[in-house]
Amino acid sequence: MTTITETRPVPATPSRTAGSGQKVTGRRVLRSEWAKLWSLRSTWITLTLGLLFLFAVGVIAAVQYRSMTGPGKHLDPGLADATTQSLALFGVPFALVALVALGVLGVLTTSGEYTSGMIRSTLAAVPRRLPVLWAKAAVHGLIAFVLSVIGVFVAFLVASGILSRTPIAMSVTDGGVVRSLLGAGLYLGLVAVIGVALGALLRSTAGGISALVGTFLLVPSLMSLLPRSWRTDVTPYLPSSAGESVFALHHTAGTLSAGAGLLVLLGWTALVLGGAAHRLVRSDV
């Protein structure tokens, strides 16, 4: 006579890390992503490059303007409408290296886990998966925002000193300046979040960087190939154009207001994050 014993599987407890007995919390996941980010050499390199271009290009533009305002000098027509604010933030829309460097950092640290296989250990520790994506986005976005704000404020203060006693002299207390500088930091912070999302969505360093560079550098240039009516309707809603509206001191016809630009940029960010979250939950590592 045989006895059949019914065995029931013990339900998994995804709220605790494997073998540690510690409960998985948002704070612990954030600390883990923070530690992983600063352990990478690419973090220091890309952040240094981003801050360097963000600061240096603005200061160089201010020095160039000042050199054209002396006796017998002729002002470059391209700088006729310049302000201290636009020169200090010259590195954001035109150099774009700072912007791309911060976004590329997000791509590298996310896609790198997939190429190295480290993502398996990460998801084994956090089986619910989505907290990993939210933590990566939060850490990268916060670091990019804080460092960008420091960079643009320092660049503005230096440029303000260089351009004192010129017709375009401004100070940080002038109307809209603080909002503009904070907007530039917010723009770059959201670019970093988009970089994280692209890395998680495409799971390829080359693909993520190509998508990021194409979105913020290539696509705006291709808008000139569209008919004028289409270009006027489409261009303001591109991520790069919406981001520029966030930190613009003055808004012209055909551009979005700072608030509308922020909403559009947040919409693009949410769209890419949503795609990354869907793939993270639905597909295998």
> Which pLDDT value is given to residue 126?
66
Collect the ranges in the chain with pLDDT lower than 70: 1-22, 24, 70-81, 90-103, 106, 109-117, 119, 122-127, 284-285
Give the domain range for residue 137.
26-67+80-219+226-282
Residue 91 within a domain: yes
Closest CA to 66 of 166, 150, 134, 144: 166
Residue 186 within a domain: yes
Rg (CA), the chain: 23
> Which pLDDT value is given to residue 2?
47
Residue 16 within a domain: no
Residue 74 within a domain: no
Residue 1 within a domain: no
Which residues lie below 8 Å from residue 20, measured CB to CB, with a gap of 6+?
Answer: none
Number of compact structural domains in the chain: 1
Helices (H), 39-129: 41-67, 84-88, 97-116, 118-125
> Which pLDDT value is given to residue 131?
82
- Which pTM value belongs to this model? 0.78
Residue 262 within a domain: yes
Residue 130 within a domain: yes
> Which pLDDT value is given to residue 159?
85
> Which pLDDT value is given to residue 7?
45
> Which pLDDT value is given to residue 10?
42
